[in-house]
Chains A and B, each alone.
Chain A
Amino acid sequence: MAIDTTTLMAGLTVALGSMVPALAIGLMAKAGLEATGRNPEAASEIRTSMILGIAFAEAIAIYCLVTALIIKFVQ
Chain B
Amino acid sequence: MPHISLAAEEIFKIGAFSVTNSLLTTWLMMAILTFVSLMATSKISLIPRPIQSFVEMILEGFFSLFKSINGEKTKMFFPLLATLFIYIISANWIGLLPGIGSIGIYKGEEAHRHFIPLLRGTTADLNTTLALAITAVLAIQYYGIKTLGAKIYLKKFFDFNNPISFFLGPLEIVSEFAKILSFAFRLFGNIFAGEVLLTVVAFLMPFFAPLPFIGLEFFVGMIQALVFSMLTAVFLNTATRQAEH
Interface residues of A (CB under 8 A from B): 45, 48, 51-52, 55, 58-59, 62-63, 65-66, 69-70, 73-74
Contact = CB atoms under 8 A, between A and B. Distances in A.
Contact of B193 (A48, A62, A74): A62
Interface stretch (B92-100, B151-159, B184-192): B184-192
Main secondary structure on chain A at its contact with chain B?
helix
The 5 closest A-B pairs by CB, nearest first: A62-B189, A55-B227, A59-B186, A66-B189, A73-B6
Interface residues of B, number: 19
Contacts of B161: none
Contacts of B189: 59, 62-63, 65-66
Interface of B: 4-6, 68, 182, 185-186, 188-190, 192-193, 196, 223-224, 226-227, 230-231
A47 B185 CA distance: 24
Contacts of B224: 55
B211 to A, nearest CB: 23
A52 B68 CA distance: 14
Contact of A62 (B6, B68, B185): B185
A51 B223 contact: yes
Contacts of A55: 186, 223-224, 227
Contacts of A59: 182, 185-186, 189
